[in-house]
């Protein structure tokens, strides 16, 4: 199980099993302790990111995202950790279980609160159970599952949901009896391109012309775009971005978004060069921006906002500039976020993403397992159908 942020080595067979501890704030763990286990490459598990969500009011009991992270300690030292939240709703998860909550209610049971292991508001696949070098995930996952079951029983919780783990982790948990759900996202993969035109060279002629026409349309409207990294993003840029984010969320959903102004002014800048912002200007005024995060291998497109609408600007800022950045930096993959079939015609391939689910009530556990078994062939069929619509030449 290499997909657990475990850096190699084998745990000795008779090693002492760790103690499990639940904490309600990352203030109880130093950044050095946490990051020594979680690492700093995957930006969404860094102490500064998760604790920043807490301190800027995004993940609190009031917002329905109460931290209760699980730590594994041996001889007082943290050797494992799992992000964990006590959830009072299902917002901001991107694995939709509203029908399950309705079924619980019809059965006279209560679905919320539940436990969720996820990156808040971030449907990005990545490590979830993180272990120190030399620790064996197959030996420690049973400790984690036992601790979660005990915590759920003590608190009267309905369930635990592991969202967007790496495939290897999800498959192993499925073998242990935790039903697996699949969803589809659209990701871009770097095939060793040297330039954006190399990438376009794989398109069928008509599809290539359509994409170039979109890029030209942005220029024709008098728009200019600038890519900023880390410290190049000023406090004024962050302030403006929050305005774009809040305005766009309000138009789309009627509320100002999950993230606060302080998150953008304090937390996001703390990630340094792992944050990239593309700012679009018209007549010298900033009119839109897209926000990305990155690891050593992957670019994550996360947020977009604008104050004015321009043809094709969203595609340019959120997709094409991201692809160009990946090519220039040699990144292997571009994950632009959940949903969006319009990404297919722009060269983003359909991929499976995963989640696993433990349900306390045996009757409902079997119902969920049956649901996931019946759902899976439909998800696979959708992925195959989506792949047939990719814009590439048949010989690519």
- What's the pLDDT tens digit per position in 228-270? 999 999 999 999 999 999 999 888 877 889 999 999 999 999 9
Residue 78 vs residues 171, 339, 341: alpha-carbon distances, Å: 26, 36, 42
Domains of the chain and CATH, by start:
19-186+352-387 (3.40.630.30), 191-331 (3.40.630.30)
Residue 38 vs residues 80, 245, 302: alpha-carbon distances, Å: 8, 29, 21
User: Six-digit token pair at 359?
Assistant: 């349900």
pLDDT band at 274 (very low <50, low <70, confident <90, very high): very high
Is the alpha carbon torsion for 244, 246, 252, 254 positive or negative? negative
- pLDDT, residue 350, reads 98
pLDDT band at 185 (very low <50, low <70, confident <90, very high): very high
What is the number of residues in the chain?
396
Q: Which candidate, 370, 353, 376, 364, places its Cα nearest to that of 159?
A: 364
The angle formed by the CA atoms of residues 319, 345 and 385, to the nearest 5 degrees, is 125
Residue 35: pLDDT above 80? yes
Q: Which candidate, 227, 235, 220, places its Cα nearest to that of 326?
A: 227
pLDDT band at 365 (very low <50, low <70, confident <90, very high): very high
Q: Is 183:379 a contact under the CB 8 Å cutoff? A: yes
pTM, 2 dp: 0.94
Residue 375: pLDDT above 50? yes
Q: Which candidate, 25, 22, 96, 29, places its Cα nearest to that of 59?
A: 25
Helical packing angle, 31-38 and 47-55, nearest 10°: 130
Percentage of the residues of the chain whose pLDDT score is greater than 90: 92
Q: Which residues pair with 72 in a beta bridge?
A: 20, 80
| Residue 156: how many other CB atoms lie within 10 Å | 9
Residue 359 vs residues 82, 113, 162, 182, 192: alpha-carbon distances, Å: 18, 13, 12, 17, 43
């Amino acid at each position: 199980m290499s997909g657990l942020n475990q850096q190699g080595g084998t745990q000795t067979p008779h090693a002492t099993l760790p103690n499990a501890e639940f904490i309600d704030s990352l203030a109880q763990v130093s950044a050095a302790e946490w990051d020594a286990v979680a690492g700093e490459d995957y930006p969404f598990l860094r102490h500064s990111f998760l604790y920043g969500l807490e301190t800027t009011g995004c993940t609190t009991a009031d917002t329905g995202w109460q931290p209760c992270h699980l730590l594994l300690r041996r001889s007082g030292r943290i050797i494992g950790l799992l992000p964990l939240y006590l959830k009072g709703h299902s917002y901001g998860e991107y694995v939709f279980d509203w029908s399950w909550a309705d079924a619980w209610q019809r059965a006279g049971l209560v679905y919320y609160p539940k436990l969720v292991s996820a990156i808040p508001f971030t449907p990005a696949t990545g490590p979830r159970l993180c272990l120190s070098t030399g620790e064996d995930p197959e030996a420690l996952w049973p400790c984690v599952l036992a601790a979660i079951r005990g915590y759920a029983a003590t608190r009267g919780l309905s369930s635990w949901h592991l969202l967007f783990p790496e495939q290897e982790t999800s498959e192993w948990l499925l073998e242990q009896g935790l039903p697996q759900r699949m969803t589809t996202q659209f990701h871009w993969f770097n095939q060793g391109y040297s330039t954006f035109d190399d990438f376009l060279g794989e398109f069928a002629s008509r599809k290539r012309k359509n994409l170039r026409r979109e890029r030209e349309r942005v220029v024709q409207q008098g728009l200019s775009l600038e890519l900023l990294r880390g410290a190049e993003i000023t406090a004024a840029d962050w302030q403006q971005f929050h305005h774009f984010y809040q305005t766009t969320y309000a138009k789309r959903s009627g509320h100002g978004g999950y993230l606060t102004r302080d998150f953008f002014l304090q937390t996001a800048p703390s990630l340094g060069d792992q944050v990239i912002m593309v700012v679009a200007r018209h007549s010298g005024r900033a009119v839109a921006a897209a926000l990305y995060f990155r690891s050593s291998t992957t670019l994550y497109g996360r947020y977009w906002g604008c104050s004015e609408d321009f043809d094709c600007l969203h595609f340019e800022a959120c997709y094409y500039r991201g692809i160009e950045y990946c090519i220039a930096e040699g990144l292997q993959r571009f994950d632009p976020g959940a949903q969006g079939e319009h990404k297919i015609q722009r060269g983003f391939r359909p991929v499976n993403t995963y989640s696993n689910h433990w349900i306390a009530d045996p009757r409902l556990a079997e119902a969920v397992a049956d649901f996931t078994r019946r759902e899976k062939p439909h998800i696979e069929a959708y992925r195959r159908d989506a792949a047939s619509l990719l814009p590439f030449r048949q010989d690519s």
